[in-house]
C-alpha cells in the first residue's frame, strides 16, 4: 500500500513541477495581460503544491520498509549502491526546486534581480533531472498510461519553451508588437 502512495506523491510532485515550468514559460510569452496574473498564480501555486507532494514523497520513501533506504542516502546524492544514479537525480532535482521556490517566494525582495533570474532558470535542469529520475526509478514506467503521461508532459514543456522562445525572438526583432 505504501508503494501506491509513494508513486502517487511522486507523480503529483512531477505533475505540479511540470505545470509550474509550463506556466512560467507561458507567463513570459505574449499572452494577454489579463491572463498573465492567472498564469503567475498558477505558476507559484503549482510550485508550492509540488513541494508539498515532494515532501510527502520523501517521507513515504523514508518510511518504506520494503526498499529500506537509510536516511542519509535520501539526502546525500550518490551515497547508495542501489539505483544510485536515478535516486541521486531525484535528490538533486529536489534541491534545485527547493532553491528556486525559496529564492522566489521567501528571499525575492532581498536578492539582486539578476541573481534571482539565474537561480530561477534552475527549474529547467531540475525538471529534466526529475523526469530522468521518474523514468529510471519507477517500476511501472513502461506501462502505456505511465509512459503516455511522461510523453505528454515532456511535449507540453517543449511546446511551452518553444512558444516562449519564438515569441521572444519575434519581440526582439520588432515583429511581435
> Is residue 54 within 8 Å of 94, Cβ to Cβ?
yes
- DSSP, res 111: S
User: What's this model's pTM, rounded to 2 decimal places?
Assistant: 0.89
In a domain, 72, yes or no: yes
Residue 23 lies in a domain: yes
The answer to the question of residue 1 being in a domain is no
Q: Give how many domains the chain has, as a whole number.
A: 1
Q: At CB < 8 A and 24+ separation, what contacts does 117-121 make?
A: 120/24
Report yes or no on 3 lying in a domain: no
Per-residue pLDDT for the chain (177 aa), expressed as one digit of tens each?
888 999 999 999 999 999 999 999 998 777 777 788 899 999 999 999 999 999 999 999 999 988 888 889 999 999 987 778 999 999 999 999 999 999 988 777 788 888 988 999 999 999 999 999 999 998 889 999 999 999 999 999 999 999 888 876 776 665 544
- Tell me, yes or no, whether 133 lies in a domain: yes
Query: Hey, what long-range contacts does 169-172 have (CB within 8 A, 24 or more apart)?
Result: 170/30, 171/30
End-to-end CA distance of the chain: 54
The C-alpha cell that represents 54 in the structure block: 515532494
Amino acid at each position: 500500500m505504501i508503494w501506491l502512495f509513494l508513486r502517487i506523491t511522486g507523480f503529483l510532485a512531477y505533475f505540479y513541477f511540470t505545470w509550474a515550468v509550463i506556466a512560467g514559460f507561458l507567463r513570459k510569452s505574449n499572452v494577454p495581460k489579463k491572463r498573465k496574473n492567472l498564469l503567475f498564480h498558477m505558476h507559484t501555486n503549482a510550485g508550492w503544491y509540488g513541494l508539498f507532494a515532494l515532501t510527502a514523497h520523501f517521507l513515504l520513501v523514508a518510511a518504506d520498509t520494503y526498499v529500506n533506504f537509510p536516511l542519509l542516502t535520501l539526502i546525500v546524492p550518490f551515497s547508495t549502491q542501489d539505483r544510485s544514479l536515478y535516486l541521486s537525480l531525484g535528490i538533486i532535482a529536489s534541491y534545485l526546486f527547493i532553491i528556486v521556490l525559496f529564492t522566489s517566494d521567501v528571499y525575492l525582495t532581498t536578492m539582486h534581480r539578476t541573481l534571482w533570474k539565474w537561480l530561477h532558470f534552475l527549474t529547467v535542469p531540475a525538471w529534466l533531472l526529475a523526469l530522468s529520475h521518474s523514468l529510471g526509478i519507477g517500476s511501472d514506467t513502461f506501462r502505456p498510461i505511465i509512459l503516455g503521461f511522461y510523453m505528454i508532459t515532456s511535449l507540453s514543456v517543449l511546446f511551452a519553451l518553444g512558444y516562449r522562445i519564438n515569441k521572444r525572438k519575434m519581440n526582439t526583432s520588432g515583429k511581435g508588437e
